[in-house]
Structure 1
Amino acid sequence: MTYTLAHMAGVNNSYMPEGDTSENNAYTRYLSKKLNIQNINKIDEVEDRYFKSVNYSILKKNIPDVMIINNYHDLQYLVEHDMIEDLSTAYKKCTTQRIKDIYNSYPSIFNHVTINGKLYAMPETNINDGPNLFWCREDWLKECGLQAPKTLTDVENIVRTFKKKKKTVGLVTDTSLTAGTGFSSEYLLNLYFASYNTYPKQWIMKGNQANYGSVDQNVKKVLSHLHELYKEGVLDQKFLERTSNNIAQLIIDGQCGAFFGPWWVPNNPLVTAKQKDASINWKPYRIETNKNGETTYHSINPSTKYVVVRKGFKHPEIIFKIISVIFDYLRYENKNVKEINDYYRLNVDPTARPISINVDYKNALHRSYENVQAILNGEKKRDVMAIDYPYAEACKNYLKNDKKNQAENWAAYASRIEALKLLETPLVKEVNSVYFGTTKTMMIKWWRLEEMEKDTYLKIICGKDSVSSFDQFVKKWYEHGGSEITKEVNQEIKK
C-alpha cells in the first residue's frame, strides 16, 4: 500500500549513506517489509520550507495522506474545515501498550489534540533534555593551566584566556538568546538568566499567579551583565551577524573553544570537528546557577509537532502502526535491523524516518544512560532499547581506542556517558513552565510583543539602548496586550 506524505527532511540528506533517499532508506525498506507500506512524498523539505509548503497545501485544501503540523491553530482549522480524520478508534486499536505507556508518562499531552472529545492528531513527545552544558576544549584548558569550570565566572575567564592565547572568538551566541517553550538548542544563554532565577519566554508561577519571565525585573540585571561582557568581547561581538551554520564552522575550524549546548552536541557539530582533527578533546561541564551548587532550568512543552491524517484516507491507523514499529518494535525487539543499527552508528539524523518525530518516555535520557552503562558493565537489564546497543558498542570502541569510526565513537561516549552523567545528579533542578498554549489575545498580538522583546534585549546587550530602556519595554509590553494575555493565561491555568 502506498500513502502520500509531507516529509520533513534533514540537512545534508539527513546524513544518510550515499544512494539512500527519503523514499528509499533503511527505515522505509524496513516498514515496507514489516507493514507492506511505501511513502510517496508530495512535500520533501527541510523544516523552515517544510511548514511553508504545508501551510500552502492546507490553504489550497490539497493535503497529503499524512503530514506533520506545528501549530495548534492549523489543527483547529483542519478540524473546523473537516480536512482530517478522527483518530480516536485507530489509536485505541492499533497502538501497542508500550507506546500508550510512553504517552502516559507526559501528563495532559493529549489536551491540545483532543477537540470535542475526539483525538485528531498524534503528538510528538519532547523528552526532558535537561539544562545546557558548557562544552569546552579540555586540551586547551590544560595548555592554558586552567581548572575545570564550575561557575559562570569560570566560564568567562576561560573564554577570555582562549581569546588571548588561542585567538578564538568570544562566547558564541544565537540571537534568540534563550530557549522557547518547545526545544533545546545550542549557543544559548539560559544559564545566565537562571543564575538570577529568571526564565525568559516562560510562564512561571510566582505566588498564586503565572507571570511571563521575559518581563521579570531580574532580566534587567542579566542584560546589564551581558552588555559588559559584550563590550569586553567575552561575548562574541559579531553574534548578531552569525547563523548556526556559521557558528558550527567556527567550531569545526578551531576558532571557537567553548560554548553552551545540550547533551547531544557531540553528534552535531562536534563530531565534524573531531573528524577534521582527531587530537582535539571537547568535554562537557555542568555549570552552577546558584550558591547551593545547583543548576536550574525550565521545563519545556511536551509536544510542539502533531501528525495528522487526511480526511477520507482509508487507513488512518497507518500512523499508529508506523509509530509502534519504529518506537516500540525496532527500539526494543531489535530483530533483523542491522541496517538501522548501522544508521545509529553513523549518526544518521532521525529525519530519515518517514514521520520525522520522536516518541519516547519523558525520562528517556535517564533510561538510556542506565542502559548503556549496564551493557558496558556486562549487566542484564530488561527493557533495553535497541539503539543503546550500537551506542554501547561505539563507547566500547572509543575506550579501546579503535581507529575505525573514531569520531563517531567519541561522539557516542561524550554524549551518552560523559554528558548524561552530569545530568544524573540531584543538583540539576527543573523549574516548571506552566503554560504552553495560545490565548485569544496572543493570536492577534503575540508576534508583535515577541518582536519588541527580542529587539529590546539585543539592543541593550549591544549598547544601542541603555539598560534603563528595559523598564520602558515592560511598560509597553503590558500596555500592548501583555496585561490582557497575563489575565487570559491565568484563567486558562485555573480551568
Structure 2
Amino acid sequence: MAKRRLVILLLLMMLVAACSGNQSPGKTEEEGAIKSEQGNSADANKEGAPQDIDPLGKYDPPIEVTTVRATNDTFKFIEGESLEDNIVYELYEEDIGIKWKNIWSVGGDNNKYTEKLNLSIASKNLPDIFQVDIGQLKELVDGGLVEDMTPYFEQYASQQVKEAFGYADGLGLRMGTFDGNLYGLPNTRDAAGNLNLLWVRQDWLDNLDLELPKTADEVIAVAEAFANNDPDGDQKNNTYGIMASFMMFDGYGLGSLDALAAAYGAYPGKWIKGEEGLVYGSVQPEMKKVLEIGRELYAMGALDKEFAIKGGGETTADVVAGKIGMYYAPFWSPAWPLNQMIEKEPDAKWTPLLAPPGPSGEMKVPAGHFTTNWMVVRKGFEHPEALVKAINYWYDLSMTGGSRNEKYSELRQNEYKDVDINNYTPVYSEMPNKNDLFVDEILKALKDGDTSGLSISGLKTYEKIKAGGVDGWVEQKIWTESAPLIREYKEIVTDEFYGAPTETMGLTKTALDKLTNDTFTKMIMGDKSVEEFDDFVAQWHKIGGDKMTLEVNEWASSR
C-alpha cells in the first residue's frame, strides 16, 4: 500500500512539473496572457522573441504613466476639460490603454519648465516619461537615470514613425544617441518652417518700376529704393527697405538676415565644416563682408535706425503698419503677420522668393534643426516600450493616413474647432516633411477640382481658398505660392554641433555672445569700423573661443 502511494505521489509531481514548465514561478496563465498583450519589454527583447509585436497594441488592463508638462497661452480647453482631464488623455486610455498622470505642470515660458525639471533631475525624483533638452538628456545619460531605448524603438516603432525619425539620415535619432545607444526619441517638427524665403512688396516694386531681385546684390539695391524713393506714394520718408531686429544675422526665422549672410558664404551663430574641422561661423572671414553690407544698409536708411533695440514683436508691427518693403521669413508668414497687414491694407501685394544667391550664383540656405527636444523614459520604469507606443498612437491619430485620423479630424472640425488639441498630448511630434506632403494634396485638388482625396484638414483649406477673403488669401498664398518653393532649395546648412553645451560653453558662451552681438551692432551702426573685425576675432578666440572650438571638435570626433 505504501509503495502504491509513493508511485501515485511521484506521478502527481511529474504532472505538476510538466504543467508549469512554460510559466515563470507564481505566474498564472491569465497573468502570462496579460503580460504578452502589454508587450512586456524584457520578454520582447530576449533572443528569439516574437517579431510580430503590434505597434498599437492596447494595454489591458490599462497602465498608468506619469509625466510632467509645460503650458503657455495657446493652451485652451472646452468647458469641463483641463490639462489633467481632456479628450486626448481619454483617447490614449480608450484606444491604447495608457493612462497619463501629470505629476506637475508649469505655465509661462520654457525656462520655468527647464528650471523645475532640473530640480527633479537633481533630486532624482523623475516621472516615467518626460521631455528634455539636449543638456538635460546628456546629464540624465551620464547619471544612468534613463533607459536605453534602442531595442524598444527597433521592435515597437511603427513604420510611419520610423520613416519620420529617419528624416535627414536619422538626424533626430543621432542627436539622441550616446555611445551608440539611443536614449532620447526626438520631438520632430516640420522642417520646412526652419527655412527662410524672401518676402517682397510687389506693389512697391510696381510703383517704382522695379523688377524682383534675382541676386543678393539686387536685394540691397531694392532695399535702398524702398527706403528712399517713397514706394508707398504718401510723400513721407517713413519706409524701410528690409526688416532687421537686434539679432539681425544670428539666428533664423522671421526677420533674420541669415539667408542674406549665407548668400555671401557666412553662417553666423552656427558651427560649420572648415578645412580642419568644425569652425564657428561668426568669426570666419566671410563675416566681414556681411558686416560691410549691414553697415551699407544702415547708412542708406534701409534699416530701422532703432533695429538694435527692437525685438520680433516690434519689427513685425512695422510690417503690419506698412513700413517694411522686404523681409526674410518662413513659408507660413501669410498666417502671421501678413494676415493682419492685409486686413488693414487689402491692396498690398506680397511675393515670396527663394533667398537670392550671392556673387557666386550658389546658395546654401541656413536652417534650424527640426528637433530641439527629446522624450526619455525613467530608468527602471516597467514599460519603457510605452513611450514608443504612445508616439505610434499620436502619429496614427493625428497624421494623414493614420487609421484613427478621421476621428481626430472630426474632433478638430467640430466641438474642438476653437482649441488646439495638439497641445494636450505629452508626446507631440510630427513628420518633418508634413507640410511638403500637404502641398501636394492641396495642389492636386485645386488642379483637378476633385476633393474626394482630401483629408478633413485639406478639405477645410480647400474651402477657405475657394471662399476668398483674408483667410482664403492666407491659405492660397501659403499652399500655392510659398510652401511649394521650399522644395526647390538644393543645399541646406544646419548647425554641425548638436551636442550638449561643452564645459567652456557653460562658462564663457554668454560673454562671447555678448561680445559678438555688441561688436556687430556697433560695426553696422558705424560706431566701430568693420576693419576691426580681425581684432574682434582674436579677442573671441582668446577669451574662450579657442577652447570651445577644441571641445566641439572633440565631440565631433566622438560621434
| Normalised TM-score (structure 2) | 0.74
Residue 374 and residue 163 in structure 1: after superposition, are their counterparts in 2 closer, same or farther (change >3 A)?
closer
Say which SS state the counterpart of residue 302 (structure 2) adopts.
Answer: coil
1:246 aligns with 2:323: no
Report the Cα offset of residue 275 of structure 1: 5.1
Give the structure 1 partner of residue 95 of structure 2. Answer: 34
Say which SS state the counterpart of residue 429 (structure 2) adopts.
Answer: coil
Give the partner amino acid of 1:153: I
Give the structure 2 partner of residue 425 of structure 1. Answer: 488
Q: Distance in 2 between matches of 1:432 and 1:170?
A: 28
Give the partner amino acid of 1:173: A
Say which SS state the counterpart of residue 468 (structure 1) adopts.
Answer: helix
Q: Distance in 2 between matches of 1:297 and 1:19?
A: 47
290, 296, 312: which one pairs with 1:228? 296
Say which SS state the counterpart of residue 259 (structure 1) adopts.
Answer: strand
Give the structure 2 partner of residue 371 of structure 1. Answer: 441
- The structure with higher relative contact order (CA 8 Å, sep 6+) is 1
RMSD: 3.5
Higher mean C-alpha displacement, 233-242 vs 113-122: 113-122
Residue 356 and residue 256 in structure 1: after superposition, are their counterparts in 2 closer, same or farther (change >3 A)?
farther
Report the Cα offset of residue 145 of structure 1: 4.4
1:172 aligns with 2:243: yes
Q: Any conservation in 1 of the 2:195–2:253 contact (CA below 8 Å)?
A: no
1:198 aligns with 2:254: no
Q: Any conservation in 2 of the 1:230–1:462 contact (CA below 8 Å)?
A: yes
Report the Cα offset of residue 99 of structure 1: 0.6
Q: Any conservation in 2 of the 1:178–1:188 contact (CA below 8 Å)?
A: yes
Residue 425 and residue 223 in structure 1: after superposition, are their counterparts in 2 closer, same or farther (change >3 A)?
same
Give the structure 2 partner of residue 106 of structure 1. Answer: 168
Give the structure 1 partner of residue 141 of structure 2. Answer: 79
Q: Any conservation in 2 of the 1:69–1:305 contact (CA below 8 Å)?
A: yes
Give the structure 2 partner of residue 394 of structure 1. Answer: 461
Residue pairs, 1:60-71, within 5 angstroms:
60-71=123-134
1:261 aligns with 2:329: yes
Give the structure 2 partner of residue 148 of structure 1. Answer: 212
Residue 320 and residue 273 in structure 1: after superposition, are their counterparts in 2 closer, same or farther (change >3 A)?
farther
Give the structure 2 partner of residue 435 of structure 1. Answer: 497
Say which SS state the counterpart of residue 268 (structure 2) adopts.
Answer: coil
Q: Distance in 2 between matches of 1:195 and 1:80?
A: 40
Q: Any conservation in 2 of the 1:7–1:356 contact (CA below 8 Å)?
A: no
Say which SS state the counterpart of residue 13 (structure 1) adopts.
Answer: coil
Q: Any conservation in 1 of the 2:145–2:379 contact (CA below 8 Å)?
A: yes
1:132 aligns with 2:196: yes
Give the partner amino acid of 1:34: D
- Matched positions, count: 479
Report the Cα offset of residue 218 of structure 1: 1.9
Give the structure 1 partner of residue 536 of structure 2. Answer: 473
Report the Cα offset of residue 122 of structure 1: 1.1
Give the partner amino acid of 2:150: S
Residue 224 and residue 236 in structure 1: after superposition, are their counterparts in 2 closer, same or farther (change >3 A)?
same
Residue 82 and residue 488 in structure 1: after superposition, are their counterparts in 2 closer, same or farther (change >3 A)?
closer
342, 358, 364: which one pairs with 1:296? 364
Q: Any conservation in 2 of the 1:66–1:307 contact (CA below 8 Å)?
A: yes
Report the Cα offset of residue 189 of structure 1: 0.5
Residue 203 and residue 66 in structure 1: after superposition, are their counterparts in 2 closer, same or farther (change >3 A)?
same
Report the Cα offset of residue 394 of structure 1: 1.5
Residue 57 and residue 416 in structure 1: after superposition, are their counterparts in 2 closer, same or farther (change >3 A)?
farther
Residue 7 and residue 493 in structure 1: after superposition, are their counterparts in 2 closer, same or farther (change >3 A)?
same
Structure 2, unpaired ranges of 5+: 1-62
Q: Any conservation in 1 of the 2:320–2:338 contact (CA below 8 Å)?
A: yes
Residue pairs, 1:180-195, within 5 angstroms:
180=251, 184-195=252-263
Q: Distance in 1 between matches of 2:312 and 2:341?
A: 15
Give the partner amino acid of 2:353: Y
Give the structure 1 partner of residue 423 of structure 2. Answer: 352
Q: Distance in 1 between matches of 2:243 and 2:257?
A: 10
Say which SS state the counterpart of residue 134 (structure 1) adopts.
Answer: strand
Give the partner amino acid of 1:134: L
Give the partner amino acid of 1:309: V
Give the partner amino acid of 1:114: T
Give the partner amino acid of 2:134: N
Q: Deviations over 1:39-78 (max 9, x none)?
A: 5361233334332333333334434443222233x12222
411, 418, 439: which one pairs with 2:474? 411
Say which SS state the counterpart of residue 283 (structure 1) adopts.
Answer: strand
Report the Cα offset of residue 349 of structure 1: 6.1
Q: Deviations over 1:133-169 (max 9, x none)?
A: 1223434444554433333235414531467746345
Give the partner amino acid of 2:213: P
Between the two proteins, what is the percent identity of the paired residues? 25
Give the structure 2 partner of residue 212 of structure 1. Answer: 280
1:446 aligns with 2:513: no
Residue 434 and residue 81 in structure 1: after superposition, are their counterparts in 2 closer, same or farther (change >3 A)?
closer
Report the Cα offset of residue 393 of structure 1: 4.0
Residue 443 and residue 107 in structure 1: after superposition, are their counterparts in 2 closer, same or farther (change >3 A)?
farther
Q: Distance in 2 between matches of 1:30 and 1:105?
A: 28
Q: Distance in 2 between matches of 1:310 and 1:245?
A: 39
Give the partner amino acid of 1:56: L
Give the partner amino acid of 1:455: D
Say which SS state the counterpart of residue 436 (structure 1) adopts.
Answer: coil
Q: Deviations over 1:320-362 (max 9, x none)?
A: 233212224431232222345439x97966862423643324x
Give the structure 1 partner of residue 18 of structure 2. Answer: none
Q: Distance in 2 between matches of 1:242 and 1:189?
A: 14
1:309 aligns with 2:370: no
Residue 164 and residue 393 in structure 1: after superposition, are their counterparts in 2 closer, same or farther (change >3 A)?
closer
Report the Cα offset of residue 471 of structure 1: 1.4
Q: Any conservation in 2 of the 1:394–1:408 contact (CA below 8 Å)?
A: no
Q: Distance in 1 between matches of 2:146 and 2:386?
A: 14
Q: Distance in 2 between matches of 1:255 and 1:28?
A: 46
